[in-house]
Amino acid sequence: MLSNVSTATLIEQYVSVMVLLLISAFRGELFLLDFSGRGFWAFVAAGTVGASFGKIFYYKGIDKVGASKSTSVKNSSPLLTVLLAVILLGEELTLAAAVGSILIVIGILVLSRVEVKGGERPSRISYFFYPLMAALCFGINPIFKKIGISASSLPALGATISQSTALIVMLTAGRFLKIKPKWERIPTQSLILFSLSGVTEALGSLFTFFALVYAPAVLVTPIWRVSPLVTFVLARFTLRGVEVVTLRDGVAASFIVGGIFVLSQG
């Protein structure tokens, strides 16, 4: 890494909020902001749980176990989303959803058989603590998004409120996880990469809200979690010498993506 977790998280979040504010204003949704509405508070909850603490845990996981492993574990979150969508939103649990969930579990089990070099060998639970916490946060996050979208049908505004809330949380409660703002020199390459990450984060968040306008959470949430395989391929060829990506990681990511694909058929 060319900078630290705090810097990466905060720069990405600042850029994401600015991009979404522009999009929301352009679509006219920003002027429909209702602080007393159910949708507003659901979007705030989504930003608090997923876009802030979920992201913090995710970056901590990358710093601890590497991008490919952290992303794969984090993307097991559809398991929790499917369960909560059935219980809280009354959505249907299909055979495809059950089979896909099993494949995801297999992928996580394969991935958890890590090899740690050196004398210290932490337990699997402690080794994957941050990615697992990220998975928990990201699993709950779509439920709040769906509640907000059902109440307001304003996807751009929902994404803006969610990401803005996340920024506020990071600037306040984030210090308890050692995420705190401070002035420091940032290499140009790092600044560019973090900013581009913020743009993609904004667009990704926006598209998830649009997806929830047209489909149930139990269907669309697994589909937007196909990133482990992409991350594995990119890490394999772009992070040589930075982190070790093994064939086992690729097999685990394939199981997870396979599970997500089966889920999407339900």
Is pLDDT at 34 greater than 80 in this prediction? yes
Q: What is the pLDDT of residues 176-221, one digit of tens each?
A: 666 666 666 777 877 888 889 889 989 988 999 999 998 888 777 7
pLDDT, position 122: 46
C-alpha dihedral (129, 103, 223, 139), degrees to nearest 10 = -30
Amino acid (1-letter code) at residue 208: T
Nearest to 227 by CA among 256, 193, 192: 256
What was the pLDDT predicted at 232? 65
Least confident range from 86-90, 135-139, 152-156, 228-232: namely 228-232
Number of structural domains in the chain: 1
Give the list of residues 6+ apart from residue 69 with CB closer than 8 angstroms, or none. 61, 111, 114, 128, 131, 249
Structure tokens at 166: 């996340």
| Size (the chain), residues | 266
The boundaries of the domain holding residue 238 are 5-264
CB 179 within 8 A of CB 88: no
Q: What is the pLDDT of residues 100-154, one digit of tens each?
A: 777 877 776 676 555 444 444 444 555 678 888 888 888 899 999 999 999 999 9
> Are 166 and 51 a contacting pair, CB within 8 Å?
yes
Question: What is the chain's mean pLDDT, rounded?
Answer: 78
Distance, CA of 231 to chain centre: 13
> Does the structure show a pLDDT above 70 at 173?
yes
For the chain, what percent of residues have pLDDT higher than 90?
24
For residue 193, the model assigns a pLDDT of 83
Using 50, 70 and 90 to split pLDDT, how confident is the model at 91? confident
